[in-house]
Amino acid sequence: MSGDQAQKRPEDYWDRAGVRGYAQAMYPNADVASYLRGRLWETALDIADTLGVLTGGHVLELGCGDGAFANQMLAARYRMVDGLDLSEMAIRRAQAEAKKNATYRAIDLVTFDYGSLPRYDAAFMLGILHHVKPAAPAVIRAVARRTDKMIVLEPNGNNLLRKALEFTPSYRRAGEDSFRSRDLIEIFTAAGWRTVVWRRLNLLPNFAPRFLCRLLAPIERRIEASPLGRALCTVDAYGLTFT
């Protein structure tokens, strides 16, 4: 593989993001990153509460990236946190900033032997399944052998703007290929997972400028509450239990 081709691999994109920090790599400024990630993280934890995940539990984050969610949120809430991600550079950053109750490993989520993991009170997967799209059914089945509760946040592949953006060079470099909501729910169901919670949120995409974020943030939740507004939102959030 030539150097030019290697630079186009999603793995290289995420390694570079791991060095810079995902917030800096994926958002136009710190304010937008704080707002958008804050809403996603708040939603993930709220869904975990709805599923009955005990705050003293042991949880797993698959596709933990640079460890920001695990270190800033999960480690403060749960007794033990394990994070797994393909990018060695991102894992190095996660480890450098790790809390005492958080551990990280660089592994290939597609080929990893999930049987080597302990049992968990829940597994969190924030924006990772569409990056392993062909292997997603196998990963979801494997996770079911380690926990009976799963919190999944994924880009809304029903959003036409989102699908159009995935043809742009920057999205292609990151390996973006989102699921249609119905297709992802069918994968969950086929693997034995029951969808207990389904929400759609975040009207604003990652690249939203600061002024637009400030303009829409006060009314975003009201927009999400309407069927038409939900169709425009960029993220699907699921809470699942294994039946």
Residue 54 CB partners (closer than 8 Å, separation 6+): 121
- Identify the pLDDT of residue 161: 80
Q: Does residue 5 register a pLDDT over 80?
A: no
Other CB atoms closer than 10 Å to residue 172's CB: what's the count? 15
pLDDT band, very low/low/confident/very high, at 4 (cuts 50, 70, 90): very low
Q: How large is the average pLDDT for residues 218-224?
A: 91
Which of 1-5, 37-41, 123-127 has the least mean pLDDT? 1-5
- Identify the pLDDT of residue 172: 82
Q: How many helices (H) and strands (E) does the chain have?
A: 14, 7
- Three-state secondary structure readout of 185-232: HHHHHHCCEEEEEEEEECCCCCCCCHHHHHHHHHHHHHHHCCHHHHHH
Give how many domains the chain has, as a whole number: 1
Q: Does residue 193 register a pLDDT over 80?
A: yes
- Find the distance separating the first CA and the last CA of the chain, reported in whole Å: 44
Per the CB < 8 A criterion, the answer to whether 155 and 130 are in contact is: yes
Q: What is the CATH number of the domain that holds 32?
A: 3.40.50.150
The residue that leads in pLDDT, 217 or 172, is 217
* Residue numbers of the domain that contains 80: 3-242
Give CA–CA dist 230/224, Å, rounded.
5
pLDDT band, very low/low/confident/very high, at 65 (cuts 50, 70, 90): very high
Biggest CA-to-CA distance, the chain: 49
pLDDT band, very low/low/confident/very high, at 108 (cuts 50, 70, 90): very high
Give CA–CA dist 14/132, Å, rounded.
13
**pLDDT tens digits for range 81-99:** 999 999 999 999 999 999 9
